[in-house]
Amino acid sequence: MNTRIMKRAAWSLALLIPALARPAMAELVINPHEVAGSVDFGQIVKGRIKGSTYEDQPITRTGVYLTVSGVRDERLEVRMTVGGLLWLPLMPPTDASPGARIVQFGPGVGQAQAIYSFGDVENPSSRLQFGLFPIKYNPDAANLGEYLFRSGAYPGYVWNGGWSYLNSASYLAQGVRFNLPTFSGKVTHDFTLFMDRNIEPIHDLAPGYLVTFKPNPVFELGAGAVWAHAITLKKENGRNGITPETKENAYSKTTERPVDYAGDSSACLDYYNDKVGHAAGKSDCGYYTFRGIKMMARASADIGALLKVDGIRSGDFKLYGEVALLGVQDQPFYYEDRSRRMPMMAGVNLPTFGLLDRLAVEMEYYRSPFLNDIGQPLNSNRPLPIAGGDLDNPVNYGPGTKEYTKDDIKWSVYAKREITQGLTLYAQAASDNSRHFDVVMANPYDTPATRTPSEWYYVLRLEFGLF
């Protein structure tokens, strides 16, 4: 980055404190409240969770949301969204407990953020955003992609969906984002510092950087990196740290294999077995870590704007894609091949000549050798993809092996149509990485409900609101 950009960023940040200290009589404008609701209905046509097979399993959710926002002195904008969700837990078909059949309700916060604009209020030179807010760096992703923030490095899980089945290709960040447009808006920089607060060790801070290059209305390029768990506020090497020093998380530096499955003698294995703690055994032990750098690159081309065909609006016919590297540094045995830590997504918006507002088809290829499983970090605080199993036996390509490939391909079809102002219909059919929630603690399941391309679901949403 050149010196001019760095100086501009420094001056913008230096002006923040005196700018916020303006008189209390500054002008305050309250925007009209936004009240919205949605009703989802669909089915898991075929899927599985915890060994149970689902066929024609209904999935429903109903939500209501209230957004309040305002602007003080034309520079400081505050936005807050609260809401509630009626949802049904997805339990194994054999579960006859009442809790598995009762509708659950949960309140939530969709955003609680402030945005301060520097320079000209009509065309700000930069913006500082802080609090709890959604971030979406890939404007084209309808369902798949958006890997940089909603994926892990070690293990390299990918995730989409969540509490919202549709329109959820974004990340709810907690932290700070500094947005800096340059070269007349053709190059935009984003500096982020977000809290790691999902399933890995929480409370750590992850700095990140994104850049977007849009030379013209047709093409857009983007790239970024995040250093997950770079700043930790607790002991790094304890049992619950980012590098847990336990036997279950240890590997032998000599054999470069996990200690529990070393298969041969090693000083590290002897160290844990005899518990003597001799220096040779302790020095042979290495430990897997959550800390790692994730990288992303993306591109899009608006074919409709390029061809200028009658009946095709800008954005109706668009090609886009994204690729990520979930962990730059290798770790023994589990994470030895960067090419197998690279999820890739390709999508296309297909023209419908006014029939739909958007029709998007997306495909994902992720050649990870392991099942897309979050069980170890979620339940045991270990940066491991699986636990146990016959790690070296790929005969049946089972979830407990090092060569599980049946979930490498994902797909998604998304459609949107505004019926009238304030009333919109959405539809999505997919075999993706969505995880559902149980009834005990509303925890996500370790694996997606749809693993193979032949396992899929569909959801219809009617969204309505007063704006």
- Return the closest-CA partner of residue 126 out of 171, 185, 173, 80: 185
- Here the tokens at position 401 are 């092996």
DSSP state for residue 386 in the 8-state scheme: -
Number of H helices, E strands in the chain: 6, 20
Segment holding 429, helix H or strand E: strand 423-431
- Return the closest-CA partner of residue 346 out of 411, 302, 295: 411
Burial (0-12, 13-18, 19+ Cβ within 10 Å), 130: middle
Judge whether 300 and 290 are in contact, CB under 8 Å: no
CA distance readout (Å), 56 to 44, 46, 133, 318: 5, 7, 35, 33
Judge whether 136 and 169 are in contact, CB under 8 Å: yes
- Return the closest-CA partner of residue 300 out of 189, 140, 413, 181: 140
Q: How much is the pLDDT for 135? A: 95
> Quick one: CA dihedral 197, 201, 203, 206, positive or negative?
negative
Distance between CA atoms of 174 and 9, rounded to whole angstroms? 21
For the chain, the straight-line distance linking the first and the last C-alpha, in angstroms and rounded, comes to 41
Residue with tokens 């520097």: 118
Q: How much is the pLDDT for 390? A: 57
Q: How much is the pLDDT for 61? A: 92
Q: How much is the pLDDT for 11? A: 45
Judge whether 384 and 249 are in contact, CB under 8 Å: yes
DSSP notation for 75-121:
TEEEEEEEEEEEE-----TT---GGGTSPEEEEEEEEEEEEEEEE-S
Judge whether 9 and 126 are in contact, CB under 8 Å: yes
Distance between CA atoms of 107 and 86, rounded to whole angstroms? 9
| Lateral strand order in the sheet of 257-258 | 257-258, 250-252, 285-287
Judge whether 31 and 70 are in contact, CB under 8 Å: yes
Task: Round the CA-based radius of gyration of the chain to a whole number and report it.
Answer: 24
- Here the tokens at position 147 are 């890997």
Judge whether 74 and 97 are in contact, CB under 8 Å: no
DSSP state for residue 335 in the 8-state scheme: B
Distance between CA atoms of 256 and 328, rounded to whole angstroms? 18
- Here the tokens at position 403 are 């060569």
Judge whether 68 and 33 are in contact, CB under 8 Å: yes
Residue-level pLDDT, tens digit, the chain, 467 residues: 444 544 444 444 444 444 444 444 568 888 888 999 999 999 999 998 877 888 888 889 999 999 999 999 889 999 999 999 998 887 766 666 766 678 888 899 999 999 999 999 889 999 999 999 999 999 999 999 999 999 999 999 999 888 899 999 999 999 999 999 999 999 999 999 999 887 777 889 999 999 999 999 999 999 999 999 999 887 777 777 899 988 889 999 988 888 877 566 788 888 888 765 567 778 889 999 999 999 999 999 999 888 877 778 888 899 999 999 999 999 999 999 999 999 999 999 999 988 999 999 999 999 998 889 998 998 888 999 987 655 666 555 566 667 778 899 999 999 999 999 999 999 999 999 999 888 767 788 889 999 999 999 999 999 999 87
- Cβ neighbors of 96 (< 8 A, separation 6 or more) are none
- Return the closest-CA partner of residue 227 out of 193, 266, 188: 193
SS3 category, 152: coil
Distance between CA atoms of 411 and 430, rounded to whole angstroms? 6
Residue with tokens 């447009």: 181
Distance between CA atoms of 465 and 463, rounded to whole angstroms? 7
Residue type, 175: G
CA distance readout (Å), 233 to 195, 230, 376: 11, 10, 22
DSSP notation for 36-52:
EEEEEEEEEEEEEETTE
- E strands of 140-284, at which residues? 171-182, 187-196, 204-213, 219-228, 250-252, 257-258
Other beta carbons within 10 Å of 23? 6
Residue with tokens 């160290």: 271
